[in-house]
A and B are shown apart, each in its own frame.
Chain A
């Protein structure tokens, strides 16, 4: 312990040199990140405090928090928030639960397991835009494959306008998004499950834990970390969903705003209505929302972690 206190000068010097070299290596990457992420973020923040509509000319008066207060009473934003909540709750909770279920199945020994695992990854290999186009082709009201299939089976007489009804369009959006996100989540959960040793399962069997207790008391607590990670990243993705909506609805967020989530509304406000100030306020709000949700998951899992450590509970 004393050695550090009386460390020779040349050691200190060498450490400083190392540190400087490390900073030098990291600098270009840090600079690029700041330029591409920090600058636009800062600029959006700056714009959100101004009345900045390109249709109203080049004058940008400072308006303080008025863009934000407008959001609070904007029915369009409320609608988008409700749709985002609906979309996110189903894709995050449903998606992660489904991923855990599929991973549990794939973690068992069965014939053709390797093939099943490879097939699982296929949707992940499809680019998001292609994924959107694929589902659009399937669900299209006039020339869609699904309508053709259902008609040939005699289940429907006339074409169903899947993407023209706001409520079905939202559910199809959720379906297409789940299709895309499941492979990653499954893989994450499968890797986590494989981290649980065979003997732990055996010990639980000997201790008399049935399938239910094994899942809730042994498996779930032991994949807590990856589970938290999955919930956080999926929450971020769901709150910020954009590409699937864009492709599936032809860039409209329709029908009748039926698939316009907050992020899509921010896009429309910014780039269709050219209301940069108001759109930026939305974007900043989304960012804060994402941070809050992330913090929520971390706090929740942190609490779970603590309460399980007590004796005599």
Chain B
């Protein structure tokens, strides 16, 4: 079907001294039939990247290939892709049927074929009963479905999604998310999905491209992004609750400590005098210090969530979060020891932020 290849793609706004780089030097390949998320905070260039793939924005440098053919100088409609917008972008003056059919009509698809494809798409998304309505008569969830139906009726090689769930309420969002996943499994078309919600990215994607300030931070599977974050940014952005990140100084070979505290971490085979250490809250256990053992920190607050509780500690000048099972037994003011035995220790270079 379609493999999307980005080669040194860059986007610059403005000219001369006012020029601003929105996207720097992106190079990666989205394999045929995979679902890839572009994940990052607002302003990281993810939507710009999607628009460049779609042809809604020109690229300033580099090449975009779909199935080996260069497409970056083609008009959007010549790239064989469909786009689902955040605000759905339904044509307000057309019925749902016409909204879905419009792209087909523009492509001179025969009438009978249009009818089949529209009703088929509507059946898949369960919006057959609203085909004659105008978009404004629909609920947010139904509009979202119409936007999806418009995309699938076209039967494109590539689906592009620009935060399609962010205008839905929480319950509907979860439901639509799993439907999207099933839809992708059914259709098998290459999909690129922009989101700032890491949960969406993790649940939906085969691969995630994490972006920050116009740069690609990591391109990997959800497992890699979560368990082997390539940069400190990825470590801090992916994972809920956020990973604990702090600067630690070398005490002995392979032994680093948080200054001003008794909290130490063992890191084999690292030589730097100082580095950034990352520990996932759910991998750090807490216990009461045994006699003669120095405490690592003091409990500040406990946030019970039912199945787990987040315990926030003061460790020296830093805050540290630990996720413990159930409601936990800790009270504010308790002195505790942080047990990192089962934790995967992530080390990052203090200057470059790269994984060591």
Contact = CB atoms under 8 A, between A and B. Distances in A.
A197 B106 contact: no
B80 to A, nearest CB: 10
Given A205-B77, A206-B81, A208-B107, A200 B89 contact: yes
Could you say which of A207, A213, A217, A310 has the most chain B C-beta atoms within 10 Å of its C-beta?
A207
Interface in A178-216: 197, 199-200, 202-209, 213
A218 interface: yes
Interface stretch (B3-11, B24-32, B92-100, B241-249): B92-100
Contact of B54 (A206, A213, A222): A206
B106 A221 contact: no
A203 B89 contact: yes
Contact of B92 (A202, A204, A209, A222): A222
Interface in B101-147: 102-103, 106-107, 115, 131-132, 134
Interface in B64-94: 75-77, 81-83, 85-87, 89-94
Contacts of B134: 309
A93 B56 CA distance: 34
Contacts of A205: 55-56, 75-77
A206 B95 CA distance: 19
Nearest to A202: B56
Interface in A229-265: none
Contacts of A202: 54, 56, 76, 83, 85, 89
A206 B76 contact: yes
A10 B132 CA distance: 46
Nearest to A199: B89
A25 to B, nearest CB: 34
Contact of A311 (B76, B98, B107): B98
A34 B79 CA distance: 63
Nearest to A304: B93
B93 A308 contact: yes
- Would you call the interface of chain A mostly helix, strand, loop, or mixed? helix
A69 interface: no
Interface residues of A, number: 22
A207 B150 CA distance: 9
B115 A312 contact: yes
Contacts of A218: 91
Contacts of B56: 202, 205-206
Given A200-B89, A311-B131, A208 B106 contact: yes
B82 A206 contact: yes
A203 B115 CA distance: 21
Contacts of A83: none
A117 interface: no
Contact of A199 (B77, B87, B97): B87
Contact of A222 (B85, B93, B107, B115): B93
Given A208-B77, A311-B98, A203 B93 contact: no
28 contacts: A199-B85, A199-B86, A199-B89, A200-B91, A202-B76, A202-B83, A202-B85, A202-B89, A203-B83, A204-B91, A205-B56, A205-B76, A206-B54, A206-B56, A206-B77, A206-B82, A206-B103, A207-B77, A209-B77, A209-B106, A218-B91, A221-B93, A222-B92, A222-B93, A224-B93, A308-B93, A309-B134, A310-B132
Given A207-B150, A213-B106, 8 more contacts: A197-B87, A202-B76, A203-B90, A205-B76, A222-B91, A311-B95, A311-B97, A311-B131
Interface of A: 197, 199-200, 202-209, 213, 217-218, 221-222, 224, 308-312
Top 10 closest A-B pairs, CB basis?
A208-B77, A207-B103, A199-B89, A208-B106, A203-B89, A221-B93, A311-B97, A199-B85, A205-B76, A206-B83
